[in-house]
Amino acid sequence: MPRRRRRAALQVLALGLAAATMLGVAGAVDGAPSPSATTEPASAPNRDLPTPLVDMTISRRSEDPGRTVNLTIDDGPDPQWTPRFLDVLARNGAKAVFCMLGPNAEAHPGLARQVVAAGHRLCDHSVSHDTAMDHKDVAYQQQEIVDGLRMIQDATGGAPVPYYRAPGGAFTPESRQIAAAHGMRPLGWNVDTRDFERPGVEKILETTREQLRIGPTVLLHDGGGNRTQTLQALEQLLPWLKAEGYTFSFPQQ
Smaller CB distance to Zn ion: residue 55 or 222? 222
CA–CA separation, 10 vs 6, rounded Å?
Answer: 6
Smaller CB distance to Zn ion: residue 69 or 100? 100
Binding site for Zn ion (CB under 5 A): 74-75
| Least CB distance to Zn ion at residue 223 (A) | 8
| Least CB distance to Zn ion at residue 44 (A) | 37
Question: Which residue among 124, 125, 221, 222 is the active-site one?
Answer: 221
CA–CA separation, 144 vs 102, rounded Å?
Answer: 9
Question: Which residue among 55, 74, 78, 134 is the active-site one?
Answer: 74
| Least CB distance to Zn ion at residue 229 (A) | 17
CA–CA separation, 26 vs 42, rounded Å?
Answer: 20
Could you confirm whether 135 is annotated as catalytic? no
What is the chain's length?
253
CA–CA separation, 173 vs 178, rounded Å?
Answer: 9
Residue 138 near residue 160, CB atoms below 8 Å? no
Smaller CB distance to Zn ion: residue 105 or 246? 105
Smaller CB distance to Zn ion: residue 74 or 144? 74
Taking Cα atoms as reference points, which of 218, 201, 241, 240 lies closest to residue 99? 218
CA–CA separation, 176 vs 77, rounded Å?
Answer: 23
Question: What one-character DSSP code corresponds to residue 233?
Answer: H
Catalogue the active-site residues: 74, 221
